[in-house]
Amino acid sequence: MLHYYFSDKAHIFWDDVIESAVIRWSYLAHEEDFRVPLNALVELVAVKKAKKALFDESHSLFIANETQWLSDEWFPRLLNAGIEIIAIVFPENTVTNINVGESIEKHDSNELLYREFDNIHSAVSWLSSLPIVCTN
């Protein structure tokens, strides 16, 4: 495991077992506390040439007023960095005002696999089951 970024809001690391960049939110984040970790995730994806990303939001009430930035600026950068597979873990019975699925649909990426989960174990199992085919 390579620890890439850590704050009181988020932890970003590379998981060798599932060959994935992981962001684990631990606290309510907005504005710079929201953008800085997400930008660090894009950096890690580029450094590791990652194809998979895991967003673990199961330990956080996740609310942010960054929907436009997420969709218009950040998500295209994540795709350009090479992400092809995304798993997101949401806490059960939680409503978020950031719908990552809408961002994905807006960009209509046929090459992106995306699933939402209500627990980390299912997300890790799914990511582990997907082989990565190198295109280089």
Structure tokens at 97: 């005002």
- Indicate the pTM of the whole model: 0.84
In order of 14, 23, 100, the CA distances from 32 in angstroms are 22, 16, 19
Position 57 scores a pLDDT of: 83
Domain 2-129 sits in CATH at 3.30.750.24
Nearest to 82 by CA among 5, 121, 134: 134
Structure tokens at 79: 């795709």
Q: How would you write the pLDDT of the chain (136 residues) with one tens digit per residue?
A: 889 999 988 999 999 999 999 999 887 777 788 889 999 999 999 999 999 999 998 776 555 567 778 888 999 999 999 999 999 998 765 555 455 555 666 665 567 898 999 899 999 999 999 877 544 3
First-last CA distance in the chain? 24
Position 102 scores a pLDDT of: 59
